[in-house]
Chain A
């Protein structure tokens, strides 16, 4: 065996020219950042606001919860989010049934309609199967996707990295399928890169602009670059920034990693080879060369 093929014909490569490097097209809207970030787990809202700005993200996720309208400092999240800058993507985190996810999605739509934010018809759909792993329940996610699509939502569906489950969500009308790199908040990165590649291949088959976003599990900037190098359209993350030692610096690193990964994907990596390939010419070398 002389070569190891690391990248076969991935979707969106030469046969299907990719979109511009920095543009994410999602739900009929175009964004100059391919990074989507969460607003949870920050030590303060001020820190969150600064990190969001440093990330360059234009879409940010939020959760819907019972009246905790102010925190113990008398602050509320909405005071710290520039609603003219960000599309607010409400999630259904904490839901374990399709029915609850549909209820929460409708409550999120109601809130964002009041705020006149373009994210009003969007939902980051999470239907979880287990509190410890936070892994998605594929049957519940599929059922909720069907109901929400019928109700006019643009569903961004958090999924496992199972390529067939991902395809079923697309068939049910999901605006985007968002396979997990690894469990939410685990920082394990992309555990099964081949599954992400298969998700991309199947979801983009005959539909190269279908947006696929790697969601969950990111621990550091290289995880983001890897997702983008595999051909993902974007990455969604929260904990890796919010719980970094220096969240604002990490946010900037994530921004740069997203761009670097996308550029690397479009530029086209070289195949992996088993043997070396000298960068300096052999011709004219004055040294002793073993075997010659």
Chain B
């Protein structure tokens, strides 16, 4: 059962419901430090395996970049 989620403003069709952890693996973002919001609410790393995404979720995946 596929579903669509929005990751960083882009639609992603997932072949099956996934946890945040599984999404990061799918996106190749699981090896570096990153922080995740779902529907504007922070999901701490410890909860990534426990937080299951649902259809239409808006996900932000962020990291640290150079800034002043």
Contact = CB atoms under 8 A, between A and B. Distances in A.
A and B physically associate:
yes
Contacts of B42: 103, 106-107, 110
Nearest to B7: A67
Contact of B33 (A41, A68, A114): A114
A237 B35 CA distance: 26
Contact of B63 (A106, A111, A239): A111
Interface string B22-62: 00000101001111010010101100000000000000111
A110 B47 CA distance: 12
B66 A63 contact: yes
11 contacts: A39-B66, A40-B66, A61-B68, A62-B65, A67-B34, A67-B61, A69-B29, A93-B67, A107-B37, A110-B35, A114-B35
Given A67-B8, A107-B42, A77 B66 contact: yes
A41 B33 CA distance: 22
Contacts of A63: 64-68
A220 to B, nearest CB: 16
Contacts of A90: 64
* B-side interface size class: 20 to 34
B66 A111 contact: no
Q: Which 4 A-B residue pairings sit nearest by Cβ, starting from the closest?
A: A63-B67, A38-B68, A238-B68, A110-B35
A181 to B, nearest CB: 13
A64 interface: yes
